[in-house]
A and B are shown apart, each in its own frame.
Chain A
Amino acid sequence: MTNNQLIAQIKELRQIKPNQNWVFSVKSRILGEQKEKQSVLNVLANLLFQPKVALAGVSTLTILFSVLILSQDSLPGESLFVLKRAVEKSQALFVSQDNIAQVNLETANKRLEELAKIAESNQVKKIAPALQEYQASLAQAAKNLIKAAATTSDSVVIKNIVLETRKLEENKARLEKLYGIAGLEAKEGENPTQLVASWLINDLEKRTLTDEQNLLFEEAKKDYENGDYNLTLEKILELSESNY
């Protein structure tokens, strides 16, 4: 036998091969064991850093963000308006108790602005849901105005509430005049202007006023008794300008 023949025979031993199932199972066991030892955090981290998963996550966030942005232009009666309300509610969670009534009044003003857009574009079907949303915002504002009247004495907070209430009256008057929209009157006990006027009258009763201020205050109280809460507010603002 030559060396070449012998070497050829040695090479025949390459036919000795392990069972392929065993080969696969050993590999799985060795590398799989490591997988089991990984913490949930590592698995999540690995998952998040996988390009496909990361891309899917970024895409989902982008879509959600876009929908949220779009919802801010939605009007009552539209499907995205629910999302807009949810965002407003979640934002309100982070507002201090002193400022919550002001935020509620701002929301009521937003509802009136939406109502104006609806009237402007003649989207008749959306008027009813818009009015409902406006009344709901007034109810919420009234609830927090009563609380604020009992607990707040911060002049800046009161001034902002008064300004927002005046804006509400202006918006309401504009809507009634331009579009002839009815049903903007607040329900009994939920009229923000009345609540604010009452709050301010009670506050001024405890203060020392000049003769001129007293005169205005008396007129304001008469206006309040006559049910003209808007005028009451105007007069109190006039006499209080130096105080607030």
Chain B
Amino acid sequence: MADLKETFSQIYDQWIEKIFRFVFLKVNSEEVAQDLTSETFTRCWESFKNGSKIDNPSAFLYQIARNLVVDYYRQKGKTQIISVENTFIADPNNDFAKNAMLKSDINTIRAVLAGLKDDYQNVIVWHYLDDIPIQEVAKMMDRTEDATRVLLHRALESLKNKINEV
């Protein structure tokens, strides 16, 4: 049990921020993102301690998180409405003007990204934000690598077009 806890602890430390961010970008609420992320890791731990074989913990976590987000919107009958003003971003920069501009850019891209269809959001977040290699993303999306590259290209073009519209 001690070894299991140690392994899970390492997975938790490695993925908690990414899963939280992944969920937050979809639900646009710190509180809901915390609840769903917490539930994601709780379910992962339950599977872990029950002896389920988890070959790819990150794919497993993202899959649980995706399902929870889908359930969340289904139960609440909600649609994703992301406001540019409603932010939850750390302030690493002390330069107010620069920071304000950066925040503005980030909020814009966050809002636009949230408005993309689910596959486009996921492929952009996983590959560009979480640095997951294309091969891995392809497996997570159950697509071929080529099809994933094409999807990524289209997702990026869609994001660019929407930003230009703002």
In chain A, what residue has the closest Cβ to B12?
A27
A17 to B102, CA, bound (A): 16
Question: Which residues of chain A are within 8 angstroms of B25 by Cβ–Cβ distance?
Answer: 13, 16
Question: Which residues of chain A are within 8 angstroms of B30 by Cβ–Cβ distance?
Answer: 19
Q: B88 to A16, Cβ gap below 8 A?
A: yes
Total A-B Cβ pairs within 8 A:
92
| Closest beta carbon of chain A to B124's beta carbon, Å | 6
Q: A18 to B128, Cβ gap below 8 A?
A: no
Number of A residues with CB within 8 Å of any CB on chain B? 25
| Closest beta carbon of chain A to B105's beta carbon, Å | 6
Q: Mark B82-120, 1 if CB is under 8 A from A, else 0.
A: 000000111010000000001001100110010000000
A11 at the interface (CB under 8 A from B): yes
Question: Which residues of chain A are within 8 angstroms of B38 by Cβ–Cβ distance?
Answer: 26, 29-30
Q: Which residues of A in the span 35-52 have a Cβ within 8 Å of any Cβ on B?
A: 38, 46
In chain B, what residue has the closest Cβ to A49?
B2
Number of B residues with CB within 8 Å of any CB on chain A? 40
A182 at the interface (CB under 8 A from B): no
| Closest beta carbon of chain B to A27's beta carbon, Å | 5
B8 at the interface (CB under 8 A from A): yes
A6 at the interface (CB under 8 A from B): yes
Q: A13 to B106, Cβ gap below 8 A?
A: yes
A12 at the interface (CB under 8 A from B): yes
Question: Which residues of chain A are within 8 angstroms of B109 by Cβ–Cβ distance?
Answer: 9-10, 12-13
A23 at the interface (CB under 8 A from B): yes
A11 to B33, CA, bound (A): 20
Interface residues of A (CB under 8 A from B): 1, 3, 6-7, 9-19, 22-23, 26-27, 29-31, 34, 38, 46
Q: A34 to B1, Cβ gap below 8 A?
A: yes
Given A18-B37, A26-B38, A31-B9, check contact A11 B16 (CB 8 Å). no
Question: Which residues of chain B are within 8 angstroms of A46 by Cβ–Cβ distance?
Answer: 1-2
Given A16-B21, A16-B24, check contact A11 B92 (CB 8 Å). no
20 additional contacts, CB 8 Å, given A9-B105, A16-B89, A27-B12? A1-B160, A1-B164, A3-B160, A6-B156, A6-B160, A10-B113, A10-B128, A12-B102, A13-B21, A13-B25, A13-B106, A13-B109, A13-B110, A17-B21, A18-B20, A18-B33, A18-B37, A26-B38, A30-B8, A31-B45
